Amino acid sequence: MSNVNTPKHVLELITKEGVEVVDLRFMDFPGLWQHFSVPAREIEEETFEKGLGFDGSSIRGWQAINESDMLVKPVPDTAFIDPFFEAKTLVLICNICDPVTGKDYSRDPRNIARKAENYLKETALADTAYFGPEAEFFIFDEIRFDQNEHEGYYHIDSIEGRWNSGRCEAPNLGYKPRYKEGYFPVPPTDSQQDIRSEMMLTLERIGVPIECQHHEVATGGQAEIDMRFAPLVAMADNLLKYKYIIKNVAKKHNKTVTFMPKPLFNDNGSGMHVHMSFWKENKNLFAGDGYAGMSETAMYAIGGILKHAPAILAFSNPTTNSYKRLVPGFEAPVNLAYSSRNRSAGVRIPMYSTSEKAKRFEFRCPDPSCNPYLAFSAMVMAAIDGIQNKLDPGDPLDKDIYDLPPEELASVAQTPGSLREALEALEKDHEFLLKGDVFTSDVIETWIEYKMIHEVQALDLRPHPWEFALYYDI
C-alpha cells in the first residue's frame, strides 16, 4: 500500500475497504510487538497528530506507574490490511510520544531507529542505510516447557525431526532430513514447501517484497524466507510484519514457529545474517576497487562494526540462548574478522554481488531474537564511527579457521561467550551510540539492567537438566 502516505489516504482506504477495526501496533523495549484496537470510526485526520492514549507502565522496560500515560501516533505509510482477523482490520504501526511534552519517547525502539536514520543524514556521510536481514526460524509441531521449584524441562517435536525416524506414525514414511542436511533436498524430504510458500505470498500481499524461500540446514523444520532490502526503519517494520505473518500462518496449520537462535541441541541454530550498505544521492558508497570490490568507505565501516561488535551483540544477539548458537562447529560466525569466503568470519563480503548496486557487506553474528530497531541502529552507529575515525579492519581472514595454527588463531578476536559478556562490553563501549542523541544513557542503562535482572540472573538461579546428568551422583 505504498500510495497510502497521508492521514487522508488512510481514511480513504478505511472507507474503500470497508474497514471495521483499526489495530495500533508498537514495539516494546525488549522486542515484542504490542497492540490495541479501536473501531474504525475513532480514527480521524487529527488522530495522526494528537495520538491516542494508553498505559505505558505495563510495557516491559518503559514508564513507572506514577508516569504511565503515553500516546501512540499512527504512521500513515505503514498501513496494511491484516490477513488473519475475522473483522476487516487495518493495521497501523505507531510512534510513541509523551503526552505532557509531546516529544518522542526516548525508550521507543522505533524512535531510536528514526534518530539513527536522521543522524546518518546529519553527518553528510550518506543519506540512506539499506538493510537486508536473512532471518531463519523453526516450524515445529509441538513445544512444551516448564520450570518450577521441583522440575524443569522442554520438549520439542516435529514430523520432520530426524529423532522421529524410528517412531510409529502409522505409517512412518521415513523422509526426515538428516542432522545438518536440511539445506535443501526437494520434497518429500522437504515437507514444508507449501506452508513456506503461503508465508511468502501472504507477506507479498501485505507489501513486504520477498526474494526467496527455502528449507534451512537443521532437521526438524528449519526455514528461511528472504526479504528484499529496504532502509533502516522500513526494514525493521518489515521484520516485525515478517515474524507476525510467519507465526500466524504456522498457527493456521496447527504448527508453531520459534525465532529462538538455538532450540535444538547438536544441530544448526537460527541466525540472521544482515546485509548492509550506505548510499548517497542514489550512489552505493560501498562499491569500489579495493578488496572484494569494496570501497575505502566500506572498509572503514567494517572496521567500525568489528571494533564495536561485542557491544553491538548486546542488541543484535540479546538472549542467553543467542550464545548457544555462537559456538564453533555449526557455521557460526564467532570470529571478529572479515572475509569474502570464510563463513565463520563475523563480516562477510558476498562475492556473487558483482554489480555496483549490489555491493554490501554481511554482518553474520546477529540472530532473529533481536529487536531490529535497536540492532540495526547499533550497526549504523558503529559503521559511522568506523568511517569518521578511519578504522582499519586489518587483513581479511580468508583461510580455513579450523586449519589455523594455535598462535595465529589466538590473534583472531572472538564474539562474547555469553549475554553477560556482551552486556559488560556494552557498558564499557557505548559512547559511539550516544552521538546525535540516538541512544541515550537512560536507554543503555535500562537495557543492561533489564537484561541482567530478567534474563542473565534469572537463568543463573535455575538448575539445568544437564547438571543432574553431570552431578547428581557426586
Q: Which residues are catalytic?
A: 55, 134, 136, 216, 224, 273, 343, 362, 364
User: How far apart, in whole angstroms, are the C-alpha atoms of residue 362 and residue 107?
Assistant: 28
Q: Environment class of residue 103 by beta-carbon count within 10 Å: exposed (0-12), middle (13-18) or buried (19+)?
A: exposed
Buried b (16+ CB within 10 A) or exposed e, 315-346: bbbbbbbbbbbbeeebebbbbbbbbbebebbb
Give 197's contacts (C-beta < 8 A, 6+ positions apart). 213
CB atoms under 10 Å from CB of 248, counted, come to 16
User: How far apart, in whole angstroms, are the C-alpha atoms of residue 42 and residue 51?
Assistant: 11
User: How far apart, in whole angstroms, are the C-alpha atoms of residue 268 and residue 222?
Assistant: 9
Question: Are 28 and 62 in contact, with CB atoms under 8 Å apart?
Answer: yes
Look up cell 502516505; give the residue.
5
CB atoms under 10 Å from CB of 421, counted, come to 16
Look up cell 510467519; give the residue.
246
- Is cis: bond before 30, omega within 30 of 0? no
Strands 33-39 and 128-140, bridge-based pairing: unpaired
CB atoms under 10 Å from CB of 428, counted, come to 10
User: How far apart, in whole angstroms, are the C-alpha atoms of residue 95 and residue 44?
Assistant: 17
Residue 35, beta-bridge partner list: 25
CB atoms under 10 Å from CB of 50, counted, come to 14
- Is cis: bond before 188, omega within 30 of 0? yes
Residue type, 337: A
CB atoms under 10 Å from CB of 189, counted, come to 16
User: How far apart, in whole angstroms, are the C-alpha atoms of residue 345 and residue 397?
Assistant: 7
Nearest CA-CA partner of 349 in 334, 357, 338: 338
φ/ψ (deg, to 5) at 348? -125, 145
Nearest CA-CA partner of 85 in 251, 209, 234, 236: 251
User: How far apart, in whole angstroms, are the C-alpha atoms of residue 84 and residue 21?
Assistant: 13
Question: C-alpha grid cell for residue 287?
Answer: 562499491
φ/ψ (deg, to 5) at 362? -120, 115
